[in-house]
Amino acid sequence: MPDRSKVSENEYNKYSVRLELQVDYLAGVFAYHVQGENLLEEGDVEEALNAASGVGDDRIQKKAQGYVVPDSFTHGTSEQRKRWFNKGFKSGNMNEGNTFNASNL
| Contact predicate 67/42, CB 8 Å | no
| Contact predicate 77/57, CB 8 Å | yes
59 burial via Cβ count (<10 Å: 0-12, 13-18, 19+): middle
pLDDT for 45-99, tens place per residue? 999 999 999 999 999 999 999 999 999 999 999 999 999 999 999 999 999 999 9
Instruction: State the pTM of this model.
Output: 0.91
For the chain, the helix, strand and coil percentages under 3-state DSSP, each to the nearest 5? 70, 0, 30
| Contact predicate 105/75, CB 8 Å | no
